[in-house]
Amino acid sequence: MIHSTNVIPAASFTTNPFATRWTRPDACLFLFPPNTNIQQLLDQLHQQQGWGQIVGPHGSGKSTLLESLKPALESRGHQLAHYALHQGQRQLPMKWSDNLLQHATQVVVDGFEQLSKLSQYRLKRYCRKFDKGLLITTHQPLGFADLIHLQPDLATALRVVAHLQRNHPEIIHEDDVRRHYRHHSHNLREMLFCLYDLFEKRRLETGAPADSV
């Protein structure tokens, strides 16, 4: 239960390190698995003529990895056309005549499996015809050359939480991460949502002072 009291607000609230503004794909640093780095992935994608799939379950960091790859691809001279698809989105949100797509050398589709089989086929054919790379994310392999398979583990979860809390007192502890990681069946996104609530609860209990946002 939540209610309002007469507690006087401070000009600057205590930011929650698990809030969307810190955990969304374009705000959060992708923590590469051991023995993997961004240059390796870029080189591999280059060898595959820009075609590849990033495979992983819900909340495993596929979109976050894409956001990390985008500036690196641009710095290698690629023009990107990036489309993020949501559940049930069966067609690409663009026309074949769009400038962005026509000038792109690398097409990136986050959630490629949302597209209908026909839309998938058309996009692949278009990219082949005009010699464009096609990098996708998907939950299950879709016949593209692999770029990476993401399978988060507890060690990754601990690293992510430690990174998000790096500028905060350690309100969320390792035991919390272990418990919530198991509870959410290895879905890091759902785990972070729950850690947001836990952080709020403990912050209010301890009366943690407001810090700068």
> Which chain residues interact with another protein by CB under 8 A?
1-13, 15-16, 19-21, 24, 193, 196-197, 200-201, 204, 212-213
- 31/64 Cα distance (integer angstroms): 9
Please, are residues 181 and 154 in contact by the beta-carbon 8 Å criterion? Answer: yes
Beta carbons within 10 angstroms of residue 27's beta carbon: 12
CB of 6 to another protein, least distance (A): 5
**Identity of the residue, 112 or 199, whose beta carbon is nearer to another protein in the bound complex:** 199
Please, are residues 52 and 150 in contact by the beta-carbon 8 Å criterion? Answer: no
CB of 176 to another protein, least distance (A): 17
CB of 106 to another protein, least distance (A): 20
**Identity of the residue, 21 or 76, whose beta carbon is nearer to another protein in the bound complex:** 21
CB of 1 to another protein, least distance (A): 5
In the three-class reduction of DSSP (H, G, I as helix; E, B as strand; rest coil), residue 25 is classed as coil
**Identity of the residue, 149 or 201, whose beta carbon is nearer to another protein in the bound complex:** 201
Q: DSSP E strands: which ranges in 6-102?
A: 51-55, 80-84
**Identity of the residue, 8 or 117, whose beta carbon is nearer to another protein in the bound complex:** 8
**Identity of the residue, 131 or 205, whose beta carbon is nearer to another protein in the bound complex:** 205
CB of 9 to another protein, least distance (A): 5
What are the CA-CA distances from residue 197 to residues 106, 150, 175, 202 (Å)? Answer: 39, 26, 16, 9
Its sign, for the CA torsion 187, 192, 195, 196, is negative
- 37/24 Cα distance (integer angstroms): 21
Q: Which amino acid is at 146?
A: D
**Identity of the residue, 39 or 212, whose beta carbon is nearer to another protein in the bound complex:** 212
* C-alpha dihedral, 31 to 32 to 37 to 43, nearest 10°: -110
CB of 190 to another protein, least distance (A): 11
